[in-house]
Structure 1
Amino acid sequence: MEVLINHLLQFGNLNKQQIDLIKSKAVFRKIKKDEYYHEAGKTPREVIFLIEGIMRVSYYNRKGDEVTKYFIEENNFVADINSYNQEIPSTEYVQAITDCSYYSFSKIAMKDLSMTIIEWDNIIAKIIAKGLVDKVNKISPMMSEDATERYHSFLEKFPKLANRIPLSYLASYLGVTQSSLSRIRRNIR
């Protein structure tokens, strides 16, 4: 729980009563490797804070191929903000690619925190803004890089993830075939 509180404190000030309220609203949960936390077509009803494990966000393109958009590692919030806020079905899947544990905040809990903690909405807005910047910074450089450069960039930005992510998911994220990624990995060793 301290990891979550410390994360929140990076974005604003909270007193002891507010921290206790946040702790009372958080529900600890676990999910096994390969299970889906969320599926496309369903409307998100909660926001989670990942404390252990890695999740991936994916979708199916028009050809029916599964495409990995990005990975989410420990100490990050997980939410399809657009679908959550507008209460519309999501177009993305969120899957645990390792065993994961997280704190869950229901929509009601989030509303209660918003109504009770004056700074809450500001903290959440800062977290969302940082998440969007991080997402753009992950994806934008990849547009102009070749496959080998994308793999090197991934290793630089996420050195702890490369050995924890199945090759097929990493290849999908990088936009290459699994055999191409194997060749790239072989050539840089």
Structure 2
Amino acid sequence: MLKEYLNSFGLLSDKEIDLFTELGIQKQLNKGDYFIQEGETCKSVAFVISGLLRSFYFSNKEEDITYCITFPNHFMTAYSSFITQQPTNENIEAITTVDLLLFPQEKIQELEQNHPNWTKFLKVIAEQQYIELEKRIFQLQKNDALYRYTELIQKQPEYIQEVPLKYLASYLGITQRHLSRLRKEISF
């Protein structure tokens, strides 16, 4: 799974991919376990093999706001904290049992220093994350909830049923009641 994902970018040799995958540390999170909590400093990047994670923060009203859901076959981290090595403002929690491969920051830095293709790869990943963030902002500001919900269903149909309604509603920027109405409009 990870090798196919890395290969899809066309930037890394088989040797570089093998070297990276050997660095991965397997970890399992149970539902409700945290990858990281607010106030901690992020020291690794994870590749999600299976399961679902949500990234959230607490508003000034102490509301729990889900702003990202990470699906299998994606990298995940508390990116700002990982880069700056400052405590994070976010929480990343397992929605289901999650199998991860963890890659410590120092090992990624070693790869980057010793293999120029890793610098290119990390740049592409950072650019993709920026584009996804920009799309998310535009989608929340430009499109209605029905559009956002149907797009999510189209992109992740096999996993969407595993996300609790309260997290899904928060991610979509709507109430659970509104989400229930949308779900009735759309047949699965």
TM-score, scaled relative to structure 1: 0.90
CA contact (8 A) 1:44 1:83 kept: yes
Post-superposition CA distance 1:40-71 (Å, at most 9, x none) = 11110001111111111111111110001011
Amino acid of the residue matched to residue 151 of structure 1? Y
CA contact (8 A) 1:12 1:123 kept: no
Percent of residue pairs bearing the same amino acid type: 29
Residue aligning to 1:91: 89
- Once the 2 structures are TM-superposed, how far is the Cα of residue 84 of structure 1 from its aligned partner? 0.8
Residue aligning to 1:136: 134
Post-superposition CA distance 1:63-118 (Å, at most 9, x none) = 11000101110111101222111111111111111111111111121122112222
Cα RMSD (Å) of the superposition? 1.8
> Could you list the runs of 5+ residues in structure 2 that have no partner in the other structure?
none
What is the number of residues matched between the two proteins? 187
TM-score, scaled relative to structure 2: 0.90
User: 1:92 and 1:23 mapped to 2: Cα distance?
Assistant: 27
Amino acid of the residue matched to residue 109 of structure 1? K
Mean Cα deviation higher: 124-133 or 50-59: 124-133
Report the 3-state secondary structure (helix = DSSP H, G, I; strand = E; otherwise coil) of the residue aligned with 2:162.
coil
Q: Which residues in structure 2 correspond to 1:119-130 (within 5 Å)?
A: 119-130=117-128
> Could you list the runs of 5+ residues in structure 1 that have no partner in the other structure?
none
Mean Cα deviation higher: 81-90 or 178-187: 178-187
CA contact (8 A) 2:40 2:87 kept: yes
Residue aligning to 2:29: 31
CA contact (8 A) 1:11 1:127 kept: no
User: 1:37 and 1:120 mapped to 2: Cα distance?
Assistant: 24
- Please tell me whether residue 184 in structure 1 is matched to residue 182 in structure 2: yes
Report the 3-state secondary structure (helix = DSSP H, G, I; strand = E; otherwise coil) of the residue aligned with 1:170.
helix
Q: Which residues in structure 2 correspond to 1:102-121 (within 5 Å)?
A: 102-121=100-119
